[in-house]
C-alpha cells in the first residue's frame, strides 16, 4: 500500500498533467502544490510510483506522466465527482427544455454534453427492450398493404410496411388494431410475443395469414430495432487531443462511425452506475488511448439507455463525470415528463 503522501503526489501529477499536457517534474510539483516536502523527496516517491506502474517517463530525463493504471487509481481513490455549479445546472435545464420530440431531446443532449465536457459525446436512443408499448396503430393503405406503427412510452416511433398475402378489409384492420392494443398496451416488449401468440385464432381463416404476417412483422420490429440507434457529436473536439493527434484521431473517428463498437462501449456499463474505462481497458484497440465515461439514464427509476463521452485518457475526470451524471439526470427527467 502506498503512503498517504505518495498518493498525494500521484494526485498532483495527474492534476498537473491534465492541466498542462506536459510531463511534470519534481520541482514544478513542489512549487505548484504545497506538499511540504522537498523536490528530492518527491523524486524518491516518484521512483516508487514508477516501480509500481502508476506513472512513467516518456524519455529518460523528462517529467512523469500517469499511466492507465495511475489514472485508474486516481479515479477510484483520489478523485470524487465534481458537482455542477448552480449556473451550470440552470444552463443544462435551459438547454434541454423546449425539445419538441425524441430526436430533438437526443440531439440537444449530445450537443450539450459535447459542449460541457469539450469532448466527443455519445447518446443512445432510449432502448426498446426495457420500454413498454404505448400504442400500436394499423393503417390500411391499400387493399393488401398495411402500415404498422409502434409507439413506445419513451416517445419512440417505429413504422413498418406490411404486404399482406390476401386483401384485408378495413373492418378486419380495425378489429386487429383493437385486439392488439387491448393486449399489449402498457406491456413490456419482452412480454409481447407470448401475449399475441394465439391472436390469429380469433380471426376468420381467410384473414389468418395476414394477421400472422402482421404479427411477425411486429415481433421482428421489436427484435431488430433492439439494435439501438445512437447519436454522436462534438467530434471537432478531437482536434484538442494533443500534438500527436493525427495518428490518434483516425482510429477514433473510425470507431465512432461503427455503431456496433460504440454500443459495445456503452454496453459494458453495469446498469445504473457510472462507468469509467481508461485507455487499454477499452476492448477496441482504436480507442486504446481514450477514456470513456458513461452512465445509464431513464425516464423512471430504471435505466433505459446509456450516454457518455469519449476523450483522451488525459482528461478532467471529476469534471467530466460530474457533467455526464448531471446531464443523464436531467434527460431522465425530461423523458419522464413527456
Residues that bind a copy of itself (CB under 8 A): 100-101, 103, 134-135, 137, 139, 141, 147, 149, 151, 155, 157-161, 224, 229, 233-236, 238-239, 245-246, 249-250, 253-254, 256-257, 338
CB of 233 to a copy of itself, least distance (A): 6
- Rounded Cα–Cα distance for residues 3 and 326 (Å): 33
CB of 286 to a copy of itself, least distance (A): 10
Reading the block at residue 157, the C-alpha cell is 416511433
Q: Which is nearer to DNA, 9 or 305 (CB)?
A: 9
Asked if residues 241 and 249 have their Cβ atoms less than 8 Å apart, the reply is: yes
Contacted by 254, from DNA, a copy of itself, none: CB < 5 to 8 Å by type: a copy of itself
Contacted by 253, from DNA, a copy of itself, none: CB < 5 to 8 Å by type: a copy of itself
Per-residue b or e along 251-278, where b marks 16 or more CB atoms closer than 10 Å to that residue's CB: bbeebbeeeebbbebbeebeeeebbbbb
- Rounded Cα–Cα distance for residues 205 and 311 (Å): 59
Contacted by 236, from a copy of itself, DNA, none: CB < 5 to 8 Å by type: a copy of itself
Contacted by 39, from a copy of itself, DNA, none: CB < 5 to 8 Å by type: DNA
**DSSP-derived pairing of the beta strands 133-142 and 145-152:** antiparallel
Touching DNA, residues 12-71 (CB under 7 A): 23-28, 36-41, 43-44, 46-47, 50, 57, 59-64
CB of 58 to DNA, least distance (A): 7
| Residues contacting 273, CB < 8 A, separation 6+ | 295, 296
Taking the alpha carbons at both ends of the chain, their separation in whole angstroms is 50
Compute the half-sphere exposure of residue 335: CA atoms within 13 Å on the CB side of its CA.
30
CB of 60 to DNA, least distance (A): 4
Where do contacts with DNA occur on this chain (CB under 7 A)? 5, 23-28, 36-41, 43-44, 46-47, 50, 57, 59-64
Amino acid at each position: 500500500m502506498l503512503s498517504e503522501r505518495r498518493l498525494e503526489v500521484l494526485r498532483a501529477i495527474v492534476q498537473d498533467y491534465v492541466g498542462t499536457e506536459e510531463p511534470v517534474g519534481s520541482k514544478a510539483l513542489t512549487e505548484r502544490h504545497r506538499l511540504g516536502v522537498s523536490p528530492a523527496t518527491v523524486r524518491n516517491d516518484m521512483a516508487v510510483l514508477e516501480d509500481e506502474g502508476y506513472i512513467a517517463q516518456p524519455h529518460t530525463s523528462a517529467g512523469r506522466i500517469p499511466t492507465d493504471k495511475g489514472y485508474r487509481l486516481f479515479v477510484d481513490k483520489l478523485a470524487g465527482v465534481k458537482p455542477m455549479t448552480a449556473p451550470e445546472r440552470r444552463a443544462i435545464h435551459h438547454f434541454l427544455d423546449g425539445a419538441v420530440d425524441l430526436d430533438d431531446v437526443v440531439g440537444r443532449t449530445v450537443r450539450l454534453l459535447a459542449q460541457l465536457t469539450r469532448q466527443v459525446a455519445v447518446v443512445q436512443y432510449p432502448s426498446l427492450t426495457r420500454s413498454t408499448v404505448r400504442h400500436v396503430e394499423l393503417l390500411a393503405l391499400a387493399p393488401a398493404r398495411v402500415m404498422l406503427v409502434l409507439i413506445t412510452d419513451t416517445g419512440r416511433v417505429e413504422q413498418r410496411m406490411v404486404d399482406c398475402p390476401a386483401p384485408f378489409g378495413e373492418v378486419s384492420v380495425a378489429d386487429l388494431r383493437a385486439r392488439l392494443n387491448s393486449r399489449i398496451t402498457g406491456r413490456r416488449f419482452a412480454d409481447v410475443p407470448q401475449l399475441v401468440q394465439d391472436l390469429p385464432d380469433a380471426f376468420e381463416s381467410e384473414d389468418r395469414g395476414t394477421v400472422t404476417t402482421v404479427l411477425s412483422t411486429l415481433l421482428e420490429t421489436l427484435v431488430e430495432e433492439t439494435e439501438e440507434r445512437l447519436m454522436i457529436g462534438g467530434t471537432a473536439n478531437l482536434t484538442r487531443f494533443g500534438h500527436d493527434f493525427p495518428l490518434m484521431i483516425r482510429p477514433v473517428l473510425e470507431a465512432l462511425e461503427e455503431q456496433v463498437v460504440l454500443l459495445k462501449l456503452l454496453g459494458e456499463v453495469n446498469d445504473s452506475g457510472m462507468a469509467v474505462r481508461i485507455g487499454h481497458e477499452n476492448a477496441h484497440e482504436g480507442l486504446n488511448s481514450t477514456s470513456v465515461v458513461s452512465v445509464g439514464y431513464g425516464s423512471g427509476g430504471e435505466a433505459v439507455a446509456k450516454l457518455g463521452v469519449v476523450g483522451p485518457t488525459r482528461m478532467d475526470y471529476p469534471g467530466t463525470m460530474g457533467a455526464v451524471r448531471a446531464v443523464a439526470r436531467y434527460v431522465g427527467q425530461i423523458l419522464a415528463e413527456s
